[in-house]
Structure 1
Amino acid sequence: EALLEKSEALFTEWQQFDSIGGALEHQHTQNFIAALIQKIKSLSLDKKDLNSVLNDLDKRLIQADPKRLQKEMQNVKSSINELKSELTQLQNNLSFFSNSSAENPLFKNVEKQIEKSQKKLDQSQAEYIRLKQLKNKIERQDEKDESPELDADSSEENQD
């Protein structure tokens, strides 16, 4: 928890620097993020805590950069499509073993690959759902932020 607060404070401080604009600023921000993530990974945290901190940091970074969210969603969607294709290919390969014994090493290898691919696919789909929920949350927040402005405008018009 303290680590997350510290990393958020560092990121907030980073964002307060004067903007230099363009690709150079984007590159510096990416380098900062990479260094921050590397530093967090170097700490001796158990896997669950590390993933939690990295996910929370990633969520914060994505909220700060909508383009990053869109890019992340595209990457995950692409990964899902590749994994589905790989899984289909492996299942087709498995059909060639219909007359073979389950003890066949090649058969076992293909089954293991199918299990791994399915696990990766499930993880990628969960990540895509998480990103989509985050996107929806951001959009709802943006709508809320715009609503008071609209209400204020309409109440001013009614007073005239």
Structure 2
Amino acid sequence: GTNYSLSPEFNEMTGFNEEEVRAMLDYYATTCQFHHSTDELIEAMKPWYDNYCFAEQSYGSTTMYNSNMVLYFVDNYIRNGGYMPRNMVEENIRVDYNKLRMLIRKDKEFAHDASTIQTLVQQGYITGELKTGFPAETIAEPDNFISLLFYFGMLTI
């Protein structure tokens, strides 16, 4: 198989752009009880679900909304009679905290001067070269660890 996940031609394949999210909300607003405007719903959803980018060449153009989370939100909004969901993140999408704990432990083991996760927390971003494949024994290399976080869905370009 060929890995197309980082190709710009497929950047918009695995999510919704904002125009698509707005069209979905506008449609459901005509068929279900909504207590918020499309703009208000976008404002609530954007910080949680937007800003995914899968191809480096696409960075700065179109960002993607996580399609699973948008559908979760819309489903809950409709089933709650037009009120925002209590939890903005679906339970089975939340990061497995044991997995995250393991990654933090591994990151500390591999850290030279500063931890990758610590840098993310302090700066809000980290730079590195995204690797398309790497064996487990080389996970200690900083770019491999960053790549692992990307493929786990914890980072985006």
Larger radius of gyration: 1
> Is the shorter-chain TM-score for this pair beyond 0.5, marking a shared fold?
no
The structure with the greater share of residues assigned to helix is: 1
